Amino acid sequence: MSKKNEASLSRRQLLRRRFFRNKSAVFGLVCLMIVVFLAVFGPSLSPWSWNLSDENGLDFNAFTESPYGGGLTAPSFDDGHYFGTSQVGADVFAQTMRGLQKSLLIGLLVAVFSTSIAAIVGASAGYLMGKTDRALMWLVDLLLVLPSFLLLAILSKWYQSSGWLLLVVLLAIFNWMITARIVRSVSMSLRERDFIRAARYMGVPTRKIITKHLIPNMASLLIIDGTLNVGGAILSETGLSYLGFGVRAPDVSLGSLIAEGTASAITFPWLFMFSGGLLIITVLAVSLIGDGLRDAFDPGSRSGKKS
């Protein structure tokens, strides 16, 4: 495509074109769409329920049909166990879909929350400078040196009883600091730009400058970082759930399913490979999309550099 042609396109069209030219990003997008589709519609594709207390939660026939013993049956389409059944006769497909739903939801929410916090804190610090900057950066440094994973593990008793939304908030609280630092340095350069100065001298209130002028001008950075944060958040959540500090039974997440299936990875692989595979695909897809977005926003930076 010629330079001239590109210039006549709107910025949005240009971005779209650059993004779709990137094969790995498109691959990531397709994967993510499939994963989201599964998370949303997966549970209704199966005659079985993820909730073991439901009437169709446990398949008691699996116990008589199992060639291995227990409730274990390999994946098959005959009785609707697309991913097989577990030792207690639970449908692995229904559980995996539910776990995917939970992990994706938690990942997305954490990314949105933590990127928002990062944007507000980073922009305020970078724009206001002085004492505000010192105080906020002190907070960032403090949170950075805290062993967040350990703290979450210790707090797990408390948040596990009050529902998974609290887990989202806590994960977000420990996830925004690096982005905030990048945002701060970008804000520091932006605040000296003419349009910000003009706004300031015209008497636009600080809050408005930050929300209306600073942050929109960093949108590309925030979108890229937010996307990459989704992958990190999903990994944090699954990590916590794997160790038993995250989502708890009777609810499931990819992490808790992987934890249950690890021991059977070689012997009864269907207990492990679907949840493990979906986790890899999801995080990979999100990362590829993030890289694609970065390349689209900033063609000068090629994949491999830190945004």
Query: Least distance from C-beta 259 to another protein, angstroms?
Result: 10
255 contributes a contact to another protein by CB under 8 A: no
Residue 130 one-letter amino acid = G
Q: How far is CA 198 from the centre of its chain?
A: 38
Given the rule CB under 8 A, which of 86-94, 145-153, 186-194, 294-302 is the region that contacts another protein?
86-94
Among the listed residues 79, 102, 103, 83, the one whose alpha carbon sits nearest the alpha carbon of residue 92: 83
Q: How far is CA 56 from the centre of its chain?
A: 31
Q: What is the per-residue binding string for another protein in 87-106, x denoting contact by CB under 8 A?
A: xxxx----------------
Among the listed residues 80, 90, 82, 89, the one whose alpha carbon sits nearest the alpha carbon of residue 47: 80
67 contributes a contact to another protein by CB under 8 A: no
Among 54, 165, 198, 208, binds another protein (CB under 8 A): 54
71 contributes a contact to another protein by CB under 8 A: yes
63 contributes a contact to another protein by CB under 8 A: yes
Query: Least distance from C-beta 80 to another protein, angstroms?
Result: 18
**Smaller CB separation from another protein, 86 or 115:** 86
75 contributes a contact to another protein by CB under 8 A: no
Query: Least distance from C-beta 193 to another protein, angstroms?
Result: 53
**Smaller CB separation from another protein, 54 or 141:** 54
53 contributes a contact to another protein by CB under 8 A: yes
The CB-based long-range contact list for 239-245 (8 Å cut-off, 24+ gap) reads 239/149, 240/149, 240/152, 240/153, 240/156, 240/167, 240/171, 243/153, 244/156, 245/152, 245/153, 245/156, 245/160
Backbone φ, ψ for residue 111 (5° rounding): -65, -45
132 contributes a contact to another protein by CB under 8 A: no
70 membership: H or E segment, kind and range: none
| Per-residue tokens: 195 | 């349009």
Given the rule CB under 8 A, which of 29-37, 70-78, 200-208, 217-225 is the region that contacts another protein?
70-78
Q: Are 214 and 187 in contact (CB under 8 A)?
A: yes
144 contributes a contact to another protein by CB under 8 A: no
Give the other-Cβ count within 10 Å of 68's Cβ. 11
Among 10, 145, 266, 304, binds another protein (CB under 8 A): 266
Query: Least distance from C-beta 94 to another protein, angstroms?
Result: 13
- First-to-last alpha carbon distance for the chain, in angstroms, is 26
Whether residue 47 is preceded by a cis peptide bond, meaning omega within 30 degrees of 0, is no
Query: Least distance from C-beta 265 to another protein, angstroms?
Result: 9
Rg (alpha carbons) of the chain, rounded to whole number: 23
Residue 115 one-letter amino acid = T
248 contributes a contact to another protein by CB under 8 A: yes
Query: Least distance from C-beta 167 to another protein, angstroms?
Result: 17
Among 130, 203, 216, 250, binds another protein (CB under 8 A): 250
Number of residues that bind another protein (CB under 8 A): 28
Rounded CA separation 28/161 (Å)? 35
Query: Least distance from C-beta 59 to another protein, angstroms?
Result: 10
| Residues at the interface with another protein (CB under 8 A) | 52-55, 57-58, 60, 63, 66, 68-72, 87-90, 244, 248-250, 260, 263-264, 266-268
